[in-house]
Amino acid sequence: MGTIGRWVGTALQGAYAWAQRAGSIGPGHRRARRFVAFGDGSAICFPVTALYGERHIRIGRHTIVGPHCTLSAGVSPEHVLDRETVVSIGDGCLIGRGSGIVAHESIVIGDDVFTGHHVYITDANHGYEDPDVPIGRQFAAPRPVEIGAGSWLGHGSIVLPGARVGRHVVIGAGSVVTGTIPDFSVAVGVPARVVRRYDPADPEAGWRAVDPG
Q: Which residues are annotated as catalytic? A: 126
Residue 113: partners with Cβ closer than 8 Å, 6 or more residues away: 89, 90, 93, 94, 147, 148, 149, 150, 151, 152, 153
CA angle (129 as vertex; 124, 133 as ends), nearest 5: 90
How far apart (Å, rounded) are the C-alpha atoms in residues 55 and 32? 10
Q: What is the DSSP string of 18-65?
A: HHHHHHSB-TTSTTGGGSSEE-TT-EEPSSPSEEE-GGGEEE-TT-EE
CB 103 within 8 A of CB 142: yes
Report the 10 Å Cβ neighbour count for 168.
Answer: 15
How far apart (Å, rounded) are the C-alpha atoms in residues 177 and 147? 11
CB 88 within 8 A of CB 123: no
Classify each residue of 126-136 as buried b or exposed e, where b means 16 or more C-beta atoms within 10 Å of its C-beta: eeeeeeeeeee
Say how far residue 147 (Cα) sits from the centre of its chain.
Answer: 10
